[in-house]
């Protein structure tokens, strides 16, 4: 398919910005950015048509990392898909576990004990903090601040990953949540260690903000670049910090009240302009709100069982039916849609990945911008290719 066929007018009903027309004479330069470009976070290609430095058209090409996750899950038992969900968005394996467990629990009607719900919230918010910190680090890396902000973010991430390792046994591929609870219980020592790490996080975010927020170079590169209009964001199904950066107040923790999120007091940060700077700011403020949730959860966590007593590991067969479980993952709405025919494996297993759907508006944000800004806009979307291609 040639680039001309991806012209935006062909997509009817979309509130798209007008296609940017080349102004000079001469031909457009077609450049394939990727799949091995260091800014593409993996193997991803952007076919861009350039008029000088301006982007006239952009076509995202993905699928290089496709590994048949949904079809494999349809042939495997429900439990056997749990470790594969770790590998979707490998930065946030615990929120992936939660979304899948939530869908299966909806399907089978299992109850989750109180303590397990608190553990899930604590782990999900820790995941959110480390994801947002490293996303900002990578964004700055792409801006040319080679190393420093990313290493500061990774230093904090390391502390959180150490907590994950001492609890779940693995730093990134946690495979921790089970249908009806969690795999192992948290110890008092682990909770104390978590409290200590959480107590140190506001200092880290202050330091991070002193380094970045008022930095003139960052403001010049980010403000007014890659604007995403709220109506386009809603129409395209964008979710997560990208949607809230455009000023749409939609947080599934507030909308769905899944788990026990209605017990915690926290605010949803919103952007004003929908540019890269707003998305950066929304992520920083979300980290601060996550710390507030963590403080409350670590204060209130009750004693008790961590598994539904009726839950069984082997021979799990939910009754026929369908369920959609979704959570507010760090990158946006992560949903799992399952159809059961009463057998040991799902009849249909579908992942609604936030990374892929947030990527669909890349062209709209990049048209008319410079090539150097495309890298930044792409970085501000916050994707993991493992989840885009599945």
Partner 1 sequence: MLGEGILKGMAETARNFFGSYVSKERLTTVEYPEERVPTAENARVFPFLVYDGAEWEAGMRCVACQICEKECPPKCILIDKSKDKKPDYAGKPQFYPTRFDIDISVCMSCQICVEVCPFEAIKMDTQFELATDDRFAGLLLDRKELAKSNEYYHTIHPTEATEVDSRLAEEKAKVEAKAKAAAEAAAAKAAAAPNPAPPADKPPAGGGD
Residues in touch with partner 1 (CB under 8 A): 76-77, 79-84, 86-87, 148, 152, 155, 158, 162, 165-170, 173, 175, 183-184, 207, 210-219, 313-314
DSSP 8-class letter at 109: T
DSSP string of 189-252, one letter each residue: HHHHHHHHHHHHHHHHHHHHHHHHTT-HHHHHHHTTSS---HHHHHHTT--THHHHHTT----H
What is the smallest separation between the CB atom of 243 and partner 1, expressed in angstroms?
A: 28
Q: How far is the CB of 181 from partner 1 (least distance, A)?
A: 13
For partner 1, the closer CB: 167 or 252: 167
DSSP 10: G
| Beta carbon of residue 23, minimum distance to partner 1 (angstroms, whole number) | 32
3-state secondary structure of 312: coil
Output the smallest distance, CB 158 to partner 1, in A.
Answer: 6
With helix as H, strand as E and coil as C, how does 259-277 read? Answer: CCHHHCCCCCCCCCCCCHH
Q: Minimal distance in Å, beta carbon 234 to partner 1?
A: 33
3-state secondary structure of 16: coil
Q: Which is nearer to partner 1, 61 or 173 (CB)?
A: 173
Our CB check for partner 1 shows the closer of 165 and 262 to be 165
Nearer to partner 1, 32 or 210 (CB): 210
The span from the CA of 206 to the CA of 287, in Å, is 11
Q: How far is the CB of 374 from partner 1 (least distance, A)?
A: 25
Residues constituting the chain: 390
Name the CA radius of gyration of the chain, rounded: 21
If the CB atoms of residues 109 and 203 are measured against partner 1, the closer one turns out to be 203
Q: Which is nearer to partner 1, 156 or 333 (CB)?
A: 156
CB atoms within 10 A of CB 216: 7
């Amino acid at each position: 398919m040639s680039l001309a066929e991806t012209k935006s007018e062909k997509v009817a009903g979309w509130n798209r910005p007008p296609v940017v027309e080349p102004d000079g004479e001469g031909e457009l330069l077609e450049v394939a950015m990727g799949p091995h470009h260091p800014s593409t976070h993996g193997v991803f290609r952007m076919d861009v048509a350039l008029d000088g430095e301006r982007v006239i058209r952009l076509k995202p090409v993905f699928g290089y990392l496709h590994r048949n996750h949904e079809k494999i899950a349809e042939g495997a038992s429900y439990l056997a898909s749990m470790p594969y969900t770790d590998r979707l968005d490998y930065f946030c394996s615990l929120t992936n576990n939660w979304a899948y467990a939530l869908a299966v629990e909806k399907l089978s009607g299992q109850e989750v004990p109180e303590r397990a719900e608190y553990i899930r919230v604590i782990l999900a918010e820790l995941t959110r903090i480390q994801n947002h910190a490293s996303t900002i680090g990578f964004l700055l890396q792409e801006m040319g601040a080679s190393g420093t902000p990313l290493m500061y973010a990774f230093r904090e991430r390391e502390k959180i990953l150490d907590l994950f390792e001492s609890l779940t046994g693995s730093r990134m591929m946690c495979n921790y949540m089970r249908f009806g609870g969690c795999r192992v219980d948290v110890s008092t020592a682990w909770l104390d260690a978590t409290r200590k790490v959480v107590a140190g996080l506001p200092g880290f975010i202050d330091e991070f903000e002193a380094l970045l927020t008022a930095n003139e170079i960052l403001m010049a590169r980010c403000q007014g670049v890659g604007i995403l209009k709220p109506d386009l964001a809603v129409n395209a199904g964008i979710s997560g910090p990208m949607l809230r950066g455009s000023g749409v107040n939609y947080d599934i923790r507030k909308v769905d009240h899944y788990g026990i999120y209605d017990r915690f007091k926290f605010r949803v940060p919103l952007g004003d302009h929908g540019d890269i700077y707003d998305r950066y700011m929304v992520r920083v403020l979300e980290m601060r709100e996550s710390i507030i949730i963590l403080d409350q959860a670590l204060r209130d966590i009750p004693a008790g069982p961590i598994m539904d007593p009726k839950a069984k590991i082997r021979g799990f067969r939910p009754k026929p039916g369908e369920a959609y479980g979704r959570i507010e993952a760090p990158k946006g709405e992560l949903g799992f849609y399952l159809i059961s025919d009463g057998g040991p494996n799902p009849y249909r297993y579908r992942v609604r990945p936030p990374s892929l759907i947030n990527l669909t508006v890349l062209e709209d944000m990049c048209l008319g911008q410079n090539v150097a800004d495309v890298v930044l806009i792409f970085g501000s979307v916050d994707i993991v290719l493992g989840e885009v291609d599945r």
